[in-house]
Structure 1
Amino acid sequence: MDLRIQQSVVANLSQRPAPVEVGPFVIGMDPTTTSPHINYATPRPGTTITAADVTALVAAFRAADRRPRLEYVTSCAPELEALLVAAGFSVEARHTYLICVPGALRKPATLDRLSLCEPATDGQRAALISAQNEAFGGDPVASEADVARLRRMQSAGGVAVMAVTDDGTCVGGGGASPPVGAVSEVAGIAVRLPYRRRGLAGAITAGTTRRLFAAGVELAWLESSGEESGRVYERVGYRPAGQRLYIAVE
């Protein structure tokens, strides 16, 4: 399972607007943003990695004026963390990833005066991004580049889901990457503060995942940043499966 997840990450980063190959690594470069959460690298599983490879990776990030950063399934490159730490990287986080298959997905509780839909206009896309940014403590204003990125993701087969009130106000949402090898990552599950504790995060997760399975995805995965979010995902059918590392140069 770890191998399949890591291969999907490699494939998704390779589909970024300006990917960079550096030895055993792929950097998912996007010229429209400097965000380290979008411009990051991952190793190809099963490849030999040396200190010289790490040096070349850092140089590639510096040449692109981006902060060196990686995300990867730890078991697919067990020796890499030590090489990165020796090169000046610091661990940002260790997250559990969870998986779900079609037969395991559960139906969440019915939402009260809230519904789920897919953004079909740039205005709706901007509303979804604003709700996510606000929920995660970022800039609530969605840029044109953010909207274009979401539109491209949907056009490539990815999923976007927004939770709206009766008057059409977006209060949260989430999405999933375009499937690669029948695998897709669910991410960005967010709910604005006044609407939390209503089962909305679980409903968004389930709604996003259901759309993936309807499109032929065999394996959906996502990350849990802690026990509370992990319980939300497990209630709709996800189960813990492995570990991922976030590591960067400060």
Structure 2
Amino acid sequence: MTSMLQRLEDYYDAVPRSAARAEAFGPLTLFVREGDGWPYYARPALGRTGTVSAAEVERVRARQRELGVPEAFEWVAETTPGLRAAVEESGLVVHEHPLMVLDGEGERVPAPDGVTVRMVGADDPVLPSAAAVPYAAFGVDPSPAAAAQLAARIDAGLTRLAAAVDATGTALCAGQHQPVGAVSEVVGVGTLPGSRRRGLGLAVTAALVADARARGGETVFLTATDADVARLYARLGFRTIGTALIAEPA
């Protein structure tokens, strides 16, 4: 395992713990969110050794069903190569996504006409609409407490939020990076359906990258949806170093 992939494994284990409890299942860890918000997932336990069986995957899935949370698993193919077979044997479908790390400082991207791209603080009037954008972008009903929870995370230094804001003060696109020490992941970049194909997502990602670097981020990474999206992120200086795998029921 390369030092970069190990650094990401450490991050993956650490970042959910600010909002979730960890339940141990031998070679797997299930993160269970405390309170409302995006649900978490199961992933390989940090420092685990040996293989994972389909029976062990099924134990986690049974617990997820008991808790009423999605039967979801996330991991990196290169660091846990044997997990895919066990997950698929249990009946889940595995999706592949490019795992990308930033080289250099990142490229600046100008905001489209009529839009301002900026960081959003906990007391910013645009926060409620910025908090709602990812839910609308991904077709999910928003949590009533989403804005308050996001404000609390911003205040605590756990999340940094950027948004593309129109002349009315409404967020059209928003995204976050979540720093843990010198590592931060860009997550949840989403654009309202009516505002897509304007370059807003790339501009917001560039703002998040600049903020992460300015705040001491030595490793900035993200997971692209597919190869086409990865080519867009490559314009900012990201390169693919592995494959992120996400498993869920068919």
Structure 1-normalised TM-score?
0.86
1:84-233 correspondence to structure 2 within 5 Å: 84-91=87-94, 93-101=95-103, 103-117=104-118, 118-121=120-123, 124-139=126-141, 142-154=142-154, 155-177=156-178, 179-233=179-233
Q: Which secondary structure state, in structure 2, belongs to the residue aligned with residue 138 of structure 1?
A: coil
Q: Which secondary structure state, in structure 2, belongs to the residue aligned with residue 236 of structure 1?
A: coil
- Once residues 173 and 97 of structure 2 are traced to their aligned partners in structure 1, the CA distance between those partners, rounded to angstroms, is 22
Q: Partner residue of 1:71?
A: 74
Moved more, 82-91 or 42-51: 42-51
Q: Which secondary structure state, in structure 1, belongs to the residue aligned with residue 13 of structure 2?
A: helix
- Once residues 105 and 160 of structure 2 are traced to their aligned partners in structure 1, the CA distance between those partners, rounded to angstroms, is 19
Q: Which secondary structure state, in structure 2, belongs to the residue aligned with residue 207 of structure 1?
A: helix
Q: Which secondary structure state, in structure 2, belongs to the residue aligned with residue 176 of structure 1?
A: strand
Residue 214 of structure 1 and its aligned partner are, at CA, apart by 1.2
Q: Which amino acid aligns with 1:106?
A: E
Overall identity of the aligned pairs, in %: 27
Count of matched residue pairs: 243
Q: Which amino acid aligns with 1:11?
A: A
- Once residues 231 and 195 of structure 1 are traced to their aligned partners in structure 2, the CA distance between those partners, rounded to angstroms, is 20
- Once residues 145 and 28 of structure 1 are traced to their aligned partners in structure 2, the CA distance between those partners, rounded to angstroms, is 20
- Once residues 181 and 27 of structure 2 are traced to their aligned partners in structure 1, the CA distance between those partners, rounded to angstroms, is 21
Q: Which secondary structure state, in structure 2, belongs to the residue aligned with residue 75 of structure 1?
A: coil
- Once residues 69 and 25 of structure 1 are traced to their aligned partners in structure 2, the CA distance between those partners, rounded to angstroms, is 12
CA RMSD, aligned part only? 2.3
Asked whether the 8 Å contact 1:185–1:221 carries over to 2, the reply is: yes
Provide, for residues 177-236 of structure 1, a one-character-per-residue CA deviation record: whole Å limited to 9, x for no partner. Answer: 2x2241111011122233333322111001011111111111111111123322221111
Q: Partner residue of 2:59?
A: 56
Structure 2-normalised TM-score?
0.86
Asked whether the 8 Å contact 1:46–1:76 carries over to 2, the reply is: no
1:21 aligns with 2:24: yes
- Once residues 242 and 42 of structure 1 are traced to their aligned partners in structure 2, the CA distance between those partners, rounded to angstroms, is 16
Segments of 5+ residues of structure 1 without an aligned counterpart are none
